[in-house]
């Protein structure tokens, strides 16, 4: 699990930010990385939990999650030379 995802899940669980203070006291870019990690995690979790719903039906019902999953899968394929 990426460090940003672990940190984001902990922050979500406890309702706190990682550093003392408000949004502006957080290290530059950390909240963006945490948000991206949470978005990816949520999208893949939604796809995994789709049950008997077909992938095409799930993608129609969850277009934002589908875009995230599809983009990450494309990035994986590009990285692996497929």
- pLDDT tens-digit series, residues 12-68: 999 999 999 988 899 999 999 999 999 999 999 999 999 999 999 999 999 999 999
With CA atoms as reference, report the closest residue to 39 among 16, 15, 62, 14. 62
Q: Tokens representing 19?
A: 């550093």
| pLDDT (0 to 100) of residue 82 | 75
| pLDDT (0 to 100) of residue 81 | 83
Reported pTM: 0.81
């Amino acid at each position: 699990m990426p460090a940003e995802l672990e940190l984001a899940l902990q922050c979500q669980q406890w309702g706190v930010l990682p550093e003392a203070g408000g949004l502006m006291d957080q290290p530059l870019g950390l909240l963006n990385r945490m948000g991206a990690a949470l978005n990816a995690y949520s999208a893949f979790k939604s796809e995994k939990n789709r049950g008997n719903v077909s992938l095409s039906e799930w993608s129609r019902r969850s277009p934002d999650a589908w875009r995230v999953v599809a983009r990450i899968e494309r990035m994986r394929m590009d990285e692996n030379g497929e």
